[in-house]
Amino acid sequence: MKVEDQSTQPGSGTGVAQYPELAGRVAVVTGAARGMGACFALGLANQGVHVIGVDLDQDVLQKSFDTARQEGRLASNGTGSLTAMRCDVSRRDELFKVAAEAKARFGRLDIWINNAGVFIQAPIAGVTPEEVERTFGVNVDGVIFGAQAAAGAMQGGGVIINMASVAAFRVRRGRPVYSASKAAVHSLTQSLAVELGDQGIRVNGVAPGFIDTEMTNWVKENPEAMAKALSTVPLGRIGTPEQVFNALLFLVSDSASYISGQTLGVDGGSRHG
């Protein structure tokens, strides 16, 4: 069930649906220190979810959460919470420790967001073995190991969301390794939905397009590159992390209880433009 909330808290702003059934649930968000991950963690907490945000840079992560509290962006009258924890998602053992911490701290695990990712801009002739290993280690291994950790800790069902990309469906020059890693995420989303369905676990993906985050600063700072990027977006504008969060929020809610194995594009039409 959803209701409309007119507050201005991030993740619950004007016209953004509120899902009361999410209050008290427990979520893990990887790559939560910056950008979309930080938006997801705060947005879920403002829905009443107990969120464990993980990132390789725990200092930045903790500062992000502390700043949100100090600035009043975490609803003071809500039931949600934010907990910071260091984790390298390319390491299976560390992800399992996060899942165990969620169970130990809150007694349950309901939502797992495989958001952590790295972006490599390099043509196939110039990409290094280290760049390939790092890209697939975070973008693909992190999803596989994250799903293993989540499925082992969820009891009676749950939701896993994998962050893919428009690059999984529409490739461009100079990013073959990144595109391949995100295509793998899309494929994994379908496979995991089939494998985990009998445990009551839904698995879906979100595929953002051109979104206003630190990862796209190099484009925004170059007028020519910005114009070229926007020319590929039928809606003609850059997206926001909050718009991606709205899609994710629907998919983790009970309103999407019969949706699994899908990858939802949040790209202004870029996949088809």
**29 has which bridge partners?**
53, 113
CA distance 40 to 17: 14
**51 has which bridge partners?**
27, 82
Mean pLDDT of 138-148: 98
Instruction: Say if residue 223's pLDDT is above 60.
Output: yes
Domains of the chain with CATH codes: 19-211+240-266 (3.40.50.720)
18, two tokens? 């509120």
Is 178 an active-site residue? yes
Element housing 150 (H / E): helix 142-153
Residue 272 has a pLDDT of 81
Residue 16 has a pLDDT of 64
CA distance 11 to 213: 16
CA distance 77 to 6: 15
For residue 189, give the nearest of 176, 171, 201 by alpha carbon: 201
Residue 252 has a pLDDT of 98
Q: Which residue has the tokens 């100079």?
A: 174
Write down the catalytic residue from 19, 65, 178, 245.
178
CA distance 146 to 238: 29
Lowest mean pLDDT among 105-109, 187-191, 210-214: 210-214
Residue 46 has a pLDDT of 96
Residue 77 has a pLDDT of 63
For 56-75, how does the pLDDT look when each residue is reduced to its tens digit (9 = 90+)?
Answer: 999 999 999 999 999 999 98
**pTM of this prediction?**
0.92
Lowest mean pLDDT among 8-22, 54-68, 193-207: 8-22
Q: Which residue has the tokens 């494998």?
A: 195
Element housing 204 (H / E): strand 201-208
